[in-house]
Chain A
Amino acid sequence: MRREAPRSLADYTPLFFPGLMLVVFFVVPFSTMIAVSFFKRNPSGFYTPDFVIDNYARFLSAFFGGVLGFSLMLAVLVAIGCVCIGFPFTYLLTRRSRRVQTLWLVGLLSVLSLSEVIIGFAWSTLFSRTAGITNLLVTIGLMDKPVALLPTFGAVLTGMVYQALPYTVLVLYPALVRLDPTLTEAARTLGASPVKAFFNVVAPALRNTIVATLIMVFVFALGSYLLPQILGRPQHWTLSVLITDQAIYQSNMPFAAAMAVFLVLISLALVGMTLLVGRRENAL
């Protein structure tokens, strides 16, 4: 639908309220944080206004570089894991009847209502030695005795994929529902088995959607800070965990702010990429 462009100042009035909210609750706090990131830390108190780049300089150490690298790697793995599970799942879901689709989508949406804390503790129980899934494997004779599956990297990855999967499915669903089902049928009449048709036709036809989903899950996983602590060891902690640690336990607000700004910049860069991909898709 095409609308007339706003002409007078009065045409902009509906924007005042959201604009005000955005300024008060986003622009002001974020600017404060950027300012704080250049302040000097006061060990006896909080911080003193200043302009130093020490906070950013300190960030460029091997330790923090390693944490940043791990955070990025974890987010990439979560994104890949989510799309590898979510894409075939959503594709098969869109081929079912409306009723079945609704039931599954409602089930998935209910996962979104769980808080990160509940998800974390649920998985820590499932991965524990005393009450975890390994007890089931022992019962059916696949294992000799139950073992603890946490804290491990695998546990962190599982928990985070579980948390991000509903978002993945919700982003992929509209694109897959709109996909012309005769595309796969055409591939089959041309001699492709259903599996081949999926990899040859469905996946490439939705390449841009897949890329956009990967980036979205990546950004989402980059901010995770609770699950790595519940399900992992200190070496599995992400940059977000360190930011919390610096801000709350070490009372080093300027350094925490610097790290947060850095993380936001990386996230913004990736959101920009998503938009570029989206524009290319629309141009097709």
Chain B
Amino acid sequence: MSGLNINAVTKKFGNFAAVDNVQLNVPHGTFVCLLGPSGCGKTTLLRMIAGLEEPTSGAVVLDGEDITPLPTHKRNLGMVFQSLALFPHLSVGDNIAYALRIRGASKEEQKKRVDELLTLIHLPGFAARPVTQLSGGQRQRVAIARALALSPKLFLLDEPLSALDAKLREAMQVELRQLQQRLGITTIVVTHDQREAMTMADLVVVMGHGRILQAAPPIEIYRKPADAFVADFIGITNLLPAEVDSAGRTTILGTTIPGLAMPEGLTRASVSIRPEDVHLGKPGGSAITGSVSFVRDLGGTIETFVEAAGTTIVAVATPRERPDVSVGAKVGITLPPESCVVLGS
């Protein structure tokens, strides 16, 4: 089978399972983001794929071949480290050509490939520069080019953009995604930035406590989070308690939500609803009544914080559909049932 298969991989440090029985199939050419808070095992998983850590049990299979026993330098992969790990004693060109030089490629071959890669990363003519004289974004690109020099089967990146400032990071995310699509290379990125994952990935893998909590395309992760942890970790969400009353109707914060059905046999649950799905209007009718506690006007969007029955609900709107409210105003909150995701108790 083509692509990467991670088969029941576990990594224990003493009694602590950093990665706990992880199962993941990555089809060839997919862009995967391993996403999770620090200490969730995502970097350890990436390092096991690279062969820099040995799994306690389980196997890493690449294109049908079990690569678990192979040392790193025989795995044919490219990796970008969080520290970038550019060789300080070598020029940009020599850094990129390192893998080719190790393999004994001729000088002309090395130069040709370096020029090719420098064009690919939009830094033509930089070959002779010392890496110590590059800006953060340029160093980033050189590290990417160096990892791609041998056209590896697998491209691994460990929090590659974390050292860049916010604006450059956003630009590099787009650039990295476009590069990956052009090359069609199977890519795995470790990140704790959900925005980064949403921008780049075909498949987002949310991890927590060494396990995979959900692996799905980004929009599905966002729209249909598997549990409260995923819902809370990806973007901003409102987690509200829901109950089924004696008449069999679902209520949230004491107000019945018509059309929202709970799964069979469940009487209490958490419901996740994204801020942009929360509608604010006049109080009364079937709306939940609350009072506005804070308004954050960010120009592009307006976040309204509403207190209702002791819970804060966040609603996001664009200035065009600006709800005309101010702090202290009474508002009615409407939760469209089709936007509510029931998460279990």
- A190 near B85: Cβ-Cβ < 8 Å: no
On whether A188 and B52 interact (CB within 8 A), knowing A193-B73, A200-B102, the answer reads yes
B79: chain A residues within 8 A (beta carbon) = 185-186, 189
- B89 near A190: Cβ-Cβ < 8 Å: no
User: Does B72 make an interface contact (CB < 8 A)?
Assistant: yes
B102: chain A residues within 8 A (beta carbon) = 190-192, 196, 200
User: Which positions 50-103 of chain B face chain A at CB distance < 8 Å?
Assistant: 50-52, 71-79, 81-83, 85, 87-90, 98-99, 102-103
User: Does A182 make an interface contact (CB < 8 A)?
Assistant: yes
- A284 near B73: Cβ-Cβ < 8 Å: no
- B52 near A205: Cβ-Cβ < 8 Å: no
- A205 near B99: Cβ-Cβ < 8 Å: no
- A190 near B50: Cβ-Cβ < 8 Å: no
B87: chain A residues within 8 A (beta carbon) = 183, 186-187, 201, 204-205
Q: How far is the CA of A199 from the CA of B99 in the complex (A)?
A: 14
On whether A182 and B81 interact (CB within 8 A), knowing A188-B73, A191-B103, A205-B87, the answer reads yes
- B73 near A186: Cβ-Cβ < 8 Å: no
On whether A284 and B88 interact (CB within 8 A), knowing A188-B52, A189-B50, the answer reads yes
- B147 near A189: Cβ-Cβ < 8 Å: yes
Inter-chain pairs besides A185-B52, A193-B73, A284-B88, 17 sampled, C-beta below 8 Å: A182-B85, A183-B85, A186-B85, A186-B146, A187-B87, A187-B98, A188-B72, A189-B72, A189-B73, A189-B156, A190-B73, A190-B146, A191-B102, A191-B103, A205-B88, A205-B89, A207-B89
User: Does B132 make an interface contact (CB < 8 A)?
Assistant: yes
For B75, give the chain A residue with the smallest CB separation. A189
Q: How far is the CA of A231 from the CA of B149 in the complex (A)?
A: 55
- B98 near A190: Cβ-Cβ < 8 Å: yes
Residue among A186, A192, A207 with the highest chain B CB neighbour number at 10 A? A186
B85: chain A residues within 8 A (beta carbon) = 180, 182-183, 185-186
Contact of A284 among B74, B78, B132 (CB under 8 A): B132
Q: How far is the CA of A196 from the CA of B98 in the complex (A)?
A: 12
Residue among A182, A189, A194, A201 with the highest chain B CB neighbour number at 10 A? A189
A/B pair count, beta carbons within 8 Å: 70
Q: How far is the CA of A159 from the CA of B132 in the complex (A)?
A: 42
Listed from nearest, the 10 A-B pairs whose CB atoms lie closest are A186-B85, A190-B99, A182-B85, A189-B79, A188-B72, A182-B81, A204-B89, A191-B102, A188-B73, A191-B73
Residues 140-173 of chain B, each 1 if its beta carbon lies under 8 Å from chain A, else 0 = 0000001101100000100000000000000000
Residues 35-55 of chain B, each 1 if its beta carbon lies under 8 Å from chain A, else 0 = 000000000000000111000
For B82, give the chain A residue with the smallest CB separation. A182
- The 29 listed contacts between A and B (C-beta, < 8 Å) are A180-B83, A182-B82, A182-B83, A185-B72, A185-B81, A187-B87, A187-B98, A188-B71, A188-B72, A189-B52, A189-B73, A189-B78, A189-B156, A190-B73, A190-B98, A190-B102, A190-B146, A191-B74, A191-B76, A191-B99, A192-B102, A194-B73, A196-B102, A200-B102, A204-B87, A205-B87, A205-B88, A207-B89, A284-B132
Q: How far is the CA of A284 from the CA of B131 in the complex (A)?
A: 11
For B72, give the chain A residue with the smallest CB separation. A188
- A186 near B89: Cβ-Cβ < 8 Å: no
Write the nearest CB–CB distance from A154 to chain B, whole angstroms. Answer: 35
Write the nearest CB–CB distance from B99 to chain A, whole angstroms. Answer: 4
A196: chain B residues within 8 A (beta carbon) = 102
For B77, give the chain A residue with the smallest CB separation. A189
B78: chain A residues within 8 A (beta carbon) = 189-190
B75: chain A residues within 8 A (beta carbon) = 189
Residue among B72, B77, B99 with the highest chain A CB neighbour number at 10 A? B72
Write the nearest CB–CB distance from B43 to chain A, whole angstroms. Answer: 12
- B83 near A190: Cβ-Cβ < 8 Å: no
Q: How far is the CA of A190 from the CA of B76 in the complex (A)?
A: 8
A193: chain B residues within 8 A (beta carbon) = 71, 73
Contact of A186 among B76, B81, B103 (CB under 8 A): B81
User: Which positions 200-244 of chain A face chain B at CB distance < 8 Å?
Assistant: 200-201, 204-205, 207
